Amino acid sequence: MSKTASPFPEVRRVITGHTADAQPVLLRDEVTERVFVSPDHLNSVFNIYRTDQVPANNDGVQGEWKDVIADKPFGKDTLVSAEGAVVRVFDYAPGATSPMHRTESLDFGIIHSGTITLTLDDGVTKTLNKGDVIVQRGTIHSWKNESDEWTRMYWVVV
């Protein structure tokens, strides 16, 4: 297992909106905070965006827009939005393993860098590589980075 920090850069998010007179505006242009999600402080997540309804409510003009994900950071009870969508970025250290888990959601994962192995609860495994996309449809599963390199994945959870 790696004992070094993720080589990937912090994640910048740019969020658009409107002024009071309906003109387009940038609401946020910022680097998101890296949140460590493993006891060794290696594996991390970046909370990018959350909406608690679909279709998303795009109301809220400059100065009034509320960053919902700031109030509901990463955690067991906030991993998914029962009525909306969540966007996150995960960095997995070499050797990192997640516990078997299930989310009652439709998850779209894009492997940005590295490789990662998906294991279903029946023992079936599939290794995913840079550029691959996984559509995770509510199955019990775990993740393992079996390589010597870091892996970064982008997730949209609906």
Q: Please state, rounded to an integer, the average pLDDT across all residues of the chain.
A: 89
Q: Would you place residue 38 in the very low, low, confident or very high pLDDT band (cuts 50, 70, 90)?
A: confident
**What CATH number labels 34-157?**
2.60.120.10
DSSP the chain: ---S---SPPPEEEEEEE-TTS-EEEEEEEEPPEEE-STTS-SEEEEEEEESSSS-----BTTT---HHHHS-SSGGGSS-TTSEEEEEEEE-TT-BPPPB--SSEEEEEEEESEEEEEETTS-EEEEETT-EEEEES--EEEE--SSS-EEEEEEE-
Rg of the chain on CA atoms, in Å = 17
C-beta atoms surrounding 124 within 10 Å = 10
Q: What is the pLDDT of residues 64-122, one digit of tens each?
A: 667 776 766 666 666 777 788 999 999 999 999 999 999 889 999 999 999 999 999 99
Given a contact cutoff of 8 angstroms between Cβ atoms, the answer to whether 15 and 27 are in contact is yes
So what's the pLDDT on residue 60? 67
Q: What pLDDT does 157 receive?
A: 94
Give the pTM. Answer: 0.88
**Token pair for 144:** 């393992």
Q: Where are the domains of the chain?
A: 34-157
Would you say residue 2 has pLDDT above 60? no
Percent of the chain with pLDDT over 90: 61
* pLDDT on residue 140: 96
- CA–CA separation, 65 vs 5, rounded Å? 34
Q: Amino acid identity, residue 1?
A: M
